[in-house]
Amino acid sequence: MKAVILGAGLGTRLQHLITNIPKVMVPFGGKPLLLHIIERLKVQGFNEFIVNLHYYPDVITDFFGDGSKFGVSIQYSYEQELLESAGAIKKMEQWLTEDFVLIYGDTYFTIDVRELVKIKHTTNAFGVISVKHTQHLSQADVLEVDLATNRVIKTHSRPHNITELREGLYSSSPLYCWSSEILNFIPLDRKVHLDREIVPKLLEAGKILYARPLREGETVIDVGKPDNYQKVLELFGKQ
């Protein structure tokens, strides 16, 4: 199964800390974030990767090449203009002929992504979304999940009027396992946001989506935020 890593982000919020490198190449623990992600996924059995590029693409391709020196295969999808999360997937359509996992490249995580794959296969779902509770609901696209089954039943895209946390409300965390048929729902050659545009469209079409809530002891950190990047630096400094 292929793993798609979204690596085209500018890292605007980190530009006072890093210069002339893409966000996915921010260093900690002696290696760039993207290598942390690839190494974790390789241990979990993934060895075919597709990475989208935009900002300083040569920094990524010069470091990783075709992936062989890291024991994996890497293909690249260059975006002249940023296409957002779902638009990036659509541009990779030629390579995505089967189920695939999707990881946002600015994310440090400890989740075993194979669990998402297992849930998809055992439930025959169209997609599985890793989710977490957040104290800042007004700033998140919210997924409403059935507590008995973990099936996603509704989305609330920003802006919305949900301000109080209650059971069954989550934000995506953002790790996914998708059927390749998701490509049929994504328009070509324009910016398309996955959580705000495509996930609601899938639910409207009656597609079965499941959530996989973050468990105690598991970590998912958006490294693109300066405070979170500092947390990761401190985390690795203690190891």
Q: Is the pLDDT of residue 239 over 60?
A: no
Which domain, by its residues, includes 81?
2-237
pTM strictly above 0.85: yes
Q: By C-alpha distance, which of 220, 121, 126 is closest to 170?
A: 220
**What are φ and ψ of residue 177, in 5° steps?**
-130, 125
| H-assigned helices in the chain | 33-43, 57-64, 84-91, 114-123, 199-204, 226-237
pLDDT of the residue at 165: 73
Q: Is the pLDDT of residue 85 over 50?
A: yes
Of 92-106, 108-122, 126-140, 175-189, the range with the lowest mean pLDDT is 126-140
Q: What is the DSSP letter of 112?
A: -
SS3 17: coil
100's tokens:
């695939």
Whole-angstrom CA distances from 43 to 38, 47, 127 are 9, 9, 23
Q: Is the pLDDT of residue 238 over 70?
A: no
Q: By C-alpha distance, which of 59, 11, 68 is closest to 38?
A: 68
**What are φ and ψ of residue 87, in 5° steps?**
-60, -35
CATH no. for residue 61? 3.90.550.10
DSSP assignments along 167-230, one per residue:
TTEEEEEEEEEE-GGGGGGS-SSS---IIIIIHHHHHHTT--EEEEEPPTT--EEETTSHHHHH
pLDDT per position as a tens digit, 214-234: 999 999 998 888 888 888 888
Q: Is the pLDDT of residue 130 over 90?
A: yes
Q: Is the pLDDT of residue 20 over 60?
A: yes
Q: Is the pLDDT of residue 96 over 60?
A: yes
pLDDT of the residue at 81: 96
SS3 152: strand
Residue 111 · residue 40 · CB < 8 Å: no
Q: Is the pLDDT of residue 79 over 70?
A: yes
pLDDT of the residue at 233: 86
Q: Is the pLDDT of residue 30 over 80?
A: yes
Mean pLDDT in residue range 51-58: 96
pLDDT per position as a tens digit, 151-196: 999 998 777 777 777 889 998 888 999 999 999 999 998 999 999 9
pLDDT of the residue at 183: 99
* Alpha-carbon gap, residue 171 to 139, rounded angstroms: 10
Percentage of the chain surpassing pLDDT 70?
A: 97
**Structural domain count of the chain:** 1
pLDDT of the residue at 176: 99
* Alpha-carbon gap, residue 157 to 182, rounded angstroms: 19
Helix (H) or strand (E) holding 144: strand 142-145
Mean pLDDT in residue range 120-127: 98
CB neighbours of 198 closer than 8 A, spacing ≥ 6?
Answer: 86, 182, 185, 186, 192
